[in-house]
Amino acid sequence: MADALLEVRGLSRRFAAVDALKEVDFSVAAGEVHALIGPNGAGKTTFIHHVSGALQPDSGSVRFAGRDITRLSMHERVRAGMARSYQITNVFLGLSARDNVALAVQGRADAGTSFRFWRPVAAEAALFAEAVDWLTQVGLAGKAEAVAGSLSHGEQRALEVAMALATKPQLLLLDEPMAGTGPEESARMVELIEHLARHVTILLVEHDMDAVFRLADRISVLVNGQMICTGTPDEVKADAGVRRAYLGDHL
Amino acid sequence: MTQLILEQALNGLQFGLMLFLLAAGLTLVFGIMDCINLAHGSLYMVGAYFVAAAAQVADSFWVGLGAGVAGAALLGLLLEVSLFRRLYQRDHLAQVLATFALILIANEAVRAIWGPAAIMFNPPEALAGPVEFPLPHGAFFYPAYRLVIIAVGLAVAALLYLLVARSRVGMWVRAGAANREMTEALGINVRALFTAVFVFGAALCALAGGLLGPLLAVQVGMGESVLILAFVVIIIGGIGSIRGALVGSLIVGTVDTLGRALLPALLRATLPADAAATLGPALASILIYLLMAGILFFRPQGLFPARA
Amino acid sequence: MAFYRPARWQRPATLAGLVALVALPAALTALGQEFYIGFATRVLIFALAASSLNLVLGFGGMVSLGHAAFFGIGAYTAAICQQAGINEALFAFPAAMAAAGLFALLVGSVSLRTRGVYFIMITLAFAQMVFYLFVSARAWGGDDGLPLAGRMTLAGFSLAGDSALFFASLAALTAALLAFGRLAQARFGRTLQAIRENETRMEALGYPVFRYRLVAFALGGAVAGLAGALLANLTGLASPNLLQWTQSGTLLVMVIIGGVGALYGGVVGAAVLLGLEEVLVGFTEHWHIVLGLLLLGIVLFAPRGVAALFGERRG
């Protein structure tokens, strides 16, 4: 694909004697919502770690926005325009929602250096105004002052997304954004992702198949560390290999 | 020259093996419970005092050694049950503070009981003399007592290896070091296991302290410098790894001993006299730290990391 | 966690404390207790050293057990400067800060690649290396340390009088605390505190975590170097004792007693510990046992330190 935003080629990684990832080829086109599914233990999280830079592959390459990022560290990839949310809620529980997002804004390259030692952040109104904008985007406008630890689980997940968005990514990695949320909150999260998809390319890892088939433009299926199929939702549903690997599990 | 190198190499081996006795217990405590214990060196010091005192009372080195090691094991048990158990779940800072406090108490208590002067005590009569090795270029003499230390060190190392690598308890210990939660979930009583490891570590400390007692002065503060060397060993070897502790100990023991013995001479041969005189001792004394920094730079987890 | 923010009483209390301290030398002289000016100076200097460790430990979350190295390097740099004919503190003190800071940069660049127990042991080992280096360096006095011929001058004024050195130390401590208080609320300090809480998250927000930690570590080292240079002036000696690892432990104890991550933690801790020593030594020569038991009590029953008893908000 010519306009692939993320292009993974021949990615392999072994842990001890186990092939966690075997020669994985994978690409996300600019502008699409691309879902990654697979049974538990298929290697989805390991794969996402390799994309985000938390882990380094034994072989293979990762290209992002036309640039080889295989050996870049996590923070360098974030600076290059790739943001992630975590499977387990990972926000600063003792800080207000606004402070959480303000940290994300402050970390961005265009927000200036954080090697500033004298001027209190409290005086940087622009930082906080922008943080509130992002909170509004995810439906948390009314919760800006609330301490993150006091938010509901669904709200914390939304806050997580707001922090990822505030890094102004070209690609948003959402690692099971629906995990542990109730049906109502899930529905709200699906709406949020639909809304975000208009602005940013999304790589979605999710177990909730209703959400995946509703949101995804394309779906890739990872089984036992191998990418066995990539296609539109209908193609994936019809794929014999996917049915074999998956049937009885979710589909 | 050959004689000197041979002698220093044996000294290095002996030193390394004694370091191993200290580092083995320490690396398991760090590895399994993720707990830092600065007072490990105090167990070594107190153990040496126990052995010296018991040897004096019993008028026998070996009886003293046995009694001293048993006493230190008992002290280890008391400490583990009364204090360390409450520290495992705390952060490293609390562990540092508590064990630092233990060092202050131990040093001062020893000073109060045995006085500030160093205690000298003798190796067993039978081992007081040197042993002669016929070599092609003339006989080589080496103190019998030091040979015994090497033998004991090798025996304990072999025993530990068998214990950790081959026995069921050893399997639990290794499993505990690699993944504590999982080991607990599998129904292993990590708490009891750890008490055992801690007590065993304390006994090994006292064994090292008692054996080295006749060679060094038994004195207040002897635990701290050796503690830091044991840290260097663990850093080099990798936390939680017995194999790493053994390799690290031998590296540190020989490099330090040989460095101190040979480096000044080596520098004298290559540098102007006063540069060598200034640089020699300084360089020799920091050699192992430079080595440590070098190893860390390339392998931040040490040579044999227990956790993958 | 919440970010550090000064409590409401902090500013008036600081001003009151500062006024009291400025009046202290004159008051002690009037009471005929000049001896205690020296003691108070010692407290100020250790407060400075402990505060610099609190930047690293309290705000940065790095449990460094090698801070004495920077403290000692500062003292030796001052003595070496004097030996080389530089008797002006305006040159010697910055030199001490630079030497200590640079060495901290070096130590940090190796040790900050590691975490947890490893980091503690490595900082300790490097500090021990410095100790052995100075003990075996005959040119710098070896075991005996390097004495100063007399106190230095500061901008031409002699620091020979006890009050003069007291005020120089007070100025240094005040400046450092002001800087740390600002820093903690500025971008750098918030970044540092957030890294302390969750470094992976900060990495995932695009922050080069290692660099922030390293800068904080070096900054702490530099300020400890300044404290060392002041102490060398007070005692007239750059002693290897300053480099001993127990000294690192003592600084750590001060920070913990005073409150980890509390701006005044180092000050409170230094005052409490040195005061305690002064009092207890009068009762028993084995005061370390009392101190040890006290510390165990703090660990087990007051984990947030003495400052927590006064309700200061911590970072």
User: What is the 3-class SS of chain B, one letter each residue?
Assistant: CHHHHHHHHHHHHHHHHHHHHHHHHHHHHHHHHCCCCCCHHHHHHHHHHHHHHHHHHHCCHHHHHHHHHHHHHHHHHHHHHHHHHHHCCCCHHHHHHHHHHHHHHHHHHHHHHHCCCCECCCCCHHHCCEEEECCCCCCEEEEHHHHHHHHHHHHHHHHHHHHHHHCHHHHHHHHHHHCHHHHHHCCCCHHHHHHHHHHHHHHHHHHHHHHHCCCCCECCCHHHHHHHHHHHHHHHHCCCCHHHHHHHHHHHHHHHHHHHHHHHHHHHHHCCHHHHHHHHHHHHHHHHHHHHHHHHHHCCCCCCCCCC
pLDDT at position A213 over 50:
yes
Q: How far does C187 lie from chain A, in Å, by closest CA?
A: 5
By a Cβ cutoff of 8 Å, what residues of chain A touch chain C?
52, 54, 73-76, 78-79, 83-84, 86, 90-92, 94-95, 99, 103-104, 106-109, 113-122, 124, 163, 167
Dump pLDDT digits (tens) for B132-144: 888 777 788 889 9
- Determine the residue of chain B that is closest to C260 in CA distance: B93
Task: Decide the pairing of beta strands A67-68 and B130-133.
Answer: unpaired
Which residues of A are less than 8 Å from C186 in CB distance? 116-121
Q: How far does B296 lie from chain C, in Å, by closest CA?
A: 7
The answer to whether the CB of B73 falls within 8 A of the CB of B199 is: yes
Give the domain ranges of chain A. 1-81+170-251, 93-168
Give the domain ranges of chain C. 37-245
Q: What are the backbone angles phi and psi of residue C233, rounded to the nearest 5°? A: -70, -40
Choose the closest CB to C295 out of B93, B97, B225. Answer: B97
User: How far apart (Å, rounded) are the C-alpha atoms in residues B5 and A242?
Assistant: 69
Under an 8 A CB cutoff, do C187 and A115 touch?
Answer: yes
| Mutation target among C4, C5, C205, C213 for the A interface, most CBs of A within 10 A | C205
Give me the half-sphere count of Cα atoms (radius 13 Å) on the Cβ side of residue B53: 17
Give pLDDT tens digits along chain B (308 positions): 778 888 899 999 999 999 999 999 888 888 777 889 999 999 999 999 999 999 999 999 999 999 999 999 999 999 999 999 889 888 888 999 999 999 999 999 999 999 989 988 888 888 888 888 887 777 888 899 999 999 999 999 999 888 887 888 888 877 776 777 777 777 777 788 889 989 999 999 999 999 999 988 899 989 988 999 999 999 999 888 888 999 999 999 999 999 888 888 888 888 887 777 777 888 888 899 999 988 888 888 888 876 54
Strand partners of residue A201: A171
Q: How far does A109 lie from chain C, in Å, by closest CA?
A: 8
Nearest of C85, C51, C71 to residue C235 by alpha carbon: C71
Return the pLDDT at C315.
35
Interface of B with C in 68-107 (CB under 8 A): 83, 86-87, 90, 92-94, 96-98, 100-105, 107
What's the residue count for chain C? 315
The CA angle B23-B29-B34, to the nearest 5 degrees, is: 125
Which residues of C are less than 8 Å from B297 in CB distance? 110
Under an 8 A CB cutoff, do A73 and C203 touch?
Answer: yes
Amino acid of residue C237? L
Q: How far does C32 lie from chain B, in Å, by closest CA?
A: 35
Dump pLDDT digits (tens) for A144-162: 999 999 999 889 989 999 9
| Mutation target among B78, B108, B180, B233 for the C interface, most CBs of C within 10 A | B108
User: How far apart (Å, rounded) are the C-alpha atoms in residues A151 and A142?
Assistant: 11
The answer to whether the CB of B127 falls within 8 A of the CB of B116 is: no
| Mutation target among C1, C187, C190 for the A interface, most CBs of A within 10 A | C187
Count of CB atoms situated within 10 Å of the CB of C7: 14
Average pLDDT by stretches of 10, chain C with 315 residues: 86 94 95 94 98 96 96 98 95 98 96 88 92 89 92 93 96 97 96 94 94 98 98 96 94 92 93 94 89 90 60 41
Under an 8 A CB cutoff, do A122 and C185 touch?
Answer: yes
Q: How far does C313 lie from chain B, in Å, by closest CA?
A: 19
Dump pLDDT digits (tens) for A61-110: 999 999 999 999 999 999 999 998 887 778 999 999 999 999 999 999 88
Under an 8 A CB cutoff, do C128 and B108 touch?
Answer: no
Which CATH superfamily groups domain A1-81+170-251?
A: P-loop containing nucleotide triphosphate hydrolases (3.40.50.300)
Under an 8 A CB cutoff, do C3 and A90 touch?
Answer: no
- Determine the residue of chain C that is closest to A147 in CA distance: C2
Lookup: tokens for C76: 């030796």
Under an 8 A CB cutoff, do A106 and C212 touch?
Answer: no
- Determine the residue of chain B that is closest to C127 in CA distance: B289
